Every structure is written in C-alpha cells, then in structure tokens.
Amino acid sequence: MAIAIRKSDEIVKLKKAGEIVGKTLQHLQNIIKPGMTLQQIDSIGEAFIRQHGAEPSFKGLYGFKGSVCTSLNQVCIHGVPNETVVKAGDILGLDIGTKLDGYYGDAAITMGIGEISPEDQELIDCSRDALYHAISLIKEGMRFKELTKILEDFIVSRGFVPLREYCGHGIGTSPHGEPNIPNYLEGKPNQGPKIKNGMVFCIEPMVCKKSGKPVILEDHWSVVSEDGLRTSHYEHQIAVVDGKAMILTQV
C-alpha cells in the first residue's frame, strides 16, 4: 500500500484534529490527581473531546471500550480504563485519538502522579526526549528506517530498550495506515520508503527497562514488558512540510 501524500488543506484538517488531542492531554495532565479512577479520567477526556467538536476515535476502535488508553505503571500501551485508583508515585500513560470532519489526530504522554522516583522520571524523560530528538532530525528524503534507527539508538543510549512488535504509523482519513514506524531496526537503515513532503504519521517511542518483549494481559489489550517493570510512552502526530517535520498535536 502506498503512503498517502496529503494536500495542504488536508494537513490543516489533520492539525485541527491533532490540536484537540493536544489540548485534551494538557487538560488531563492539569487535573489528574491521586484518588481518581482510570474510568473517571477516561470520562473526563471523552467529554473534553466532544466539547471541542470532535469524536473520541479510540472508542469502539477494534472493540476498545474506552476513549482514552490509560496505561498505568507497568502497562506501556493500550491500557483499558477501569475502576483502578491512581495514587501518588504512580506513572500514567495517556493515549488519545480524535476524529474531526473525517480526519484523525493521535498523541500520547506519560505523566507522574504526585511525586515520583528519579528512576521513573528518567524513564519518562527517555520516551519524551527520544520523540523530540527524532522529530528534530526528520527531513525530506531520509528513509523511515533511518528514523527508526535514530529512535532505537537514543533509547538504548539512555540505558533502556524499545518495546517490540508495536510501532508508530501513518494517519489521515483512517486512524492507522502505512508506513509502520517501529522503534527498533530490522534490516538496514538505507532500505525501504523515503520520507516525502505531505506525509503525515505518528512517532511513538515505547520504552521498557530491561526487556522489550511484549506480554498482553488478560483484558486482551494492556501491553506490558515481560520483565514486569514500569514503562513509558510518548507520541506526536507530524506532517512533513517544506522538508521538515511540523508537529500537529502540540498545543
């Protein structure tokens, strides 16, 4: 399947969807406190998205029941909202998708609940810093596998490992599409498709402490590392404009 090239008016629409994602993540980050349940967080996120004229695109997607992926502590991605209470010292991943006028937005953060350990802060910093480092180096003509190598090298340089079997992705008039953008390199970086102006995709470093082998929990959604340790996840949706990356999900 070919990687879509978006026209400037489409990128404007994708940016509008993306900005609602960014605002929702910022809103949740500002109000989440110890004692709230994951279900409460999900409900607040859904209401905020709808108040801004968009639909929560994750709700019902592939059978997912929530609007916000709430990934707590060991859960790296796809955490299901439930009655679990967050407490001080936890770390919480929030992954949000929107749909607005037929176009999709998607981004994620990992945040600390109250005061967290230096080790957990380093873990969060790794996924966030890997994301922005990779975005800063994107340019027209580089290969997606080069981008993957940048992500992996950065994560490993911080003493962590990328989650395997999951990846960033294209996005546009559907929530997921070509290309797949893993955080670990298979093959050589000088292989595969090149990044072109008009391409829109999500980069999402998923960071584990010791093992990148994924395990899916009994809810059939939540993904953890086989090492059983805490994880971190960050994501932005970007468009390639004038030869470089423009973040669509930044507030």
For residue 64, what are its two tokens?
């997912």
Predicted local confidence at residue 1, as pLDDT: 62
Cβ distance 234 to 69 under 8 Å? no
- Tracing tokens 């709700």 back to the chain, one arrives at 59
The one-letter amino acid at 65:
K
Predicted local confidence at residue 208, as pLDDT: 98
Element (H, E) at 25: helix 8-31
Nearest-angstrom CA–CA distance, 172 and 24:
19
Q: Identify the DSSP state of 111.
A: E
Which residue ranges of the chain lie beneath pLDDT 70? Answer: 1
Predicted local confidence at residue 189, as pLDDT: 96
Tell me which CATH homologous superfamily contains domain 8-247: Creatinase/methionine aminopeptidase superfamily (3.90.230.10)
| pTM above threshold 0.95 | yes
Q: What is the pLDDT of residues 114-136, one digit of tens each?
A: 999 999 999 999 999 999 999 99
Predicted local confidence at residue 245, as pLDDT: 98
Q: What is the pLDDT of residues 54-103, one digit of tens each?
A: 999 999 999 999 999 999 999 999 999 999 999 999 999 999 999 999 99
